[in-house]
């Protein structure tokens, strides 16, 4: 399979937010030459290489990155590991797809290459669902990994018992992924705050364009929930670009600088520092500058 080269914009007007030293993108994907989509996963429209992402990093003044296994590759983490090798352990970490059958020796090898989390996606195309969490969590616990969990936030109650049973850290991904957005005072947002208060849950600001009904640049419907979570527990929030944004049609492709600048609408300067630097360093084991 020959994938076309990246045609997405990799440079543009600088973001208004001046990223502090050590700023971390906690959610992006790569699509590398020679790695095909796997059965059960979506097709790959075009490449998204490490070299492409270096330009995004430079544009947004980011220093560190977490590479997340894309749905297209399903349980084949080969491209993820190649990308981590190119990026290097001082600047990059990874989130892989782990199955209940993944050999422990393989998990330990991935750890040495920078993997620090297991992806759970309870939406179409996801390789491992919330039903798999109870079997996967003991496999990663001794390594100190977290679970990155994504589901429709409107169905949070279906997953609450399973989430409360997790002993590892876990991330509530993509702003809770409420489809459609809910008011900030919704009872399911109350439940998210209670999960954060338990001490092992995190909340990721990522891809508001995927669920917002009002759109950017402020994404005010999604932003209301984000602001409430940040105000409640700024020390439990991280941010991700979701580059290269394959979940939306080309006509809806978002501006990458605006995806960073949305933090200015939702967080104070000191909160931005925690979200971009301190919290990712703590979760992923990066050195503090």
pLDDT at 2: 86
Q: For the CA atoms of 20, 21, 26, 30, what is the dihedral angle to 10 degrees?
A: 120
Q: Which residues are catalytic?
A: 242
Query: What domains appear along the chain, each with residue ranges and CATH number?
Result: 24-284 (3.20.20.140)
State the sign of the Cα–Cα–Cα–Cα dihedral 200, 206, 210, 216. positive
pLDDT at 1: 65
pLDDT at 287: 83
Contact assessment for residue 185 and residue 135, using Cβ atoms and an 8 Å cutoff: no
pLDDT at 289: 57
Contact assessment for residue 234 and residue 183, using Cβ atoms and an 8 Å cutoff: no
Q: Cα-flanking dihedrals φ and ψ of residue 231, to 5°?
A: -60, -35
3-state SS of the chain? CCCCCCCCCCCCCCCCCCCCCCCEEEEECCECCCCCCCCCCCCCCCCECHHHHHHHHHHHCCCEEEEECCHHHCCCCHHHHHHHHHHCCCCEEEEECCCCCCCHHHHHHHHHCCEEEEEEECCCCCCCCHHHHHHHHHHHHCCCCEEEEECCHHHHHHHHHHHHHCCCCEEECHHHCCCCCCCCCCHHHHHHHHHHHCCCEEEEEECHHHCCCCCCCCCHHHHHHHHHHHHHCHHHEEEECCCCCCCCCHHHCCCHHHHHHHHHHHCCHHHHHHHHHHHHHHHHCCCCC
Alpha carbon distance 148, 169 (integer Å) = 9
Alpha carbon distance 262, 123 (integer Å) = 25
∠ CA 22-12-62, rounded to 5° = 5
pTM, two decimal places: 0.97
**Residue ranges, the chain, pLDDT below 50:** none
């Amino acid at each position: 399979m020959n994938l076309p080269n990246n045609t997405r914009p990799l440079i543009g007007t600088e973001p208004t937010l001046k990223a502090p030293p050590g700023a971390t993108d906690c959610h992006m994907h790569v699509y590398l030459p020679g790695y095909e989509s796997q059965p059960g996963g979506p097709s790959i429209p075009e490449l998204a290489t490490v070299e492409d992402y270096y330009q995004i990093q430079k544009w947004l003044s980011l220093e560190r990155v977490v590479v997340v296994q894309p749905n297209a590759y399903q349980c084949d983490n080969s491209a993820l590991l190649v990308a981590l090798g190119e990026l290097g352990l001082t600047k990059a970490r990874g989130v892989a797809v782990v199955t209940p059958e993944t050999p422990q020796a393989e998990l330990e090898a991935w750890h040495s290459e920078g993997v620090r989390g297991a992806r759970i996606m309870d939406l179409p195309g996801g390789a491992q669902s919330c039903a798999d969490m109870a079997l996967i969590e003991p496999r990663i616990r001794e390594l100190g990994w977290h679970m990155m969990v994504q589901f429709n936030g409107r169905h949070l109650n279906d997953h609450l018992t399973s989430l409360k049973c997790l002993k590892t850290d876990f991330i509530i991904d993509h702003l809770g992924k409420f489809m459609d957005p809910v008011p900030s005072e919704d009872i399911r947002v109350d439940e998210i705050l209670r999960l954060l208060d338990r001490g092992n849950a995190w909340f990721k600001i990522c891809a508001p364009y995927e669920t917002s009904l009002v759109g950017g640049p402020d994404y005010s419907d999604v932003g209301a929930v984000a602001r409430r979570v940040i105000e409640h527990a700024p020390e439990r929030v991280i941010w991700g670009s979701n580059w290269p944004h394959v979940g939306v049609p080309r006509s809806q492709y978002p501006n990458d600088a605006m995806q960073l600048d949305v933090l200015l609408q939702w967080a104070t300067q000191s909160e931005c520092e925690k979200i971009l630097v301190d919290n990712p360093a703590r979760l992923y084991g990066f050195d503090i500058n």
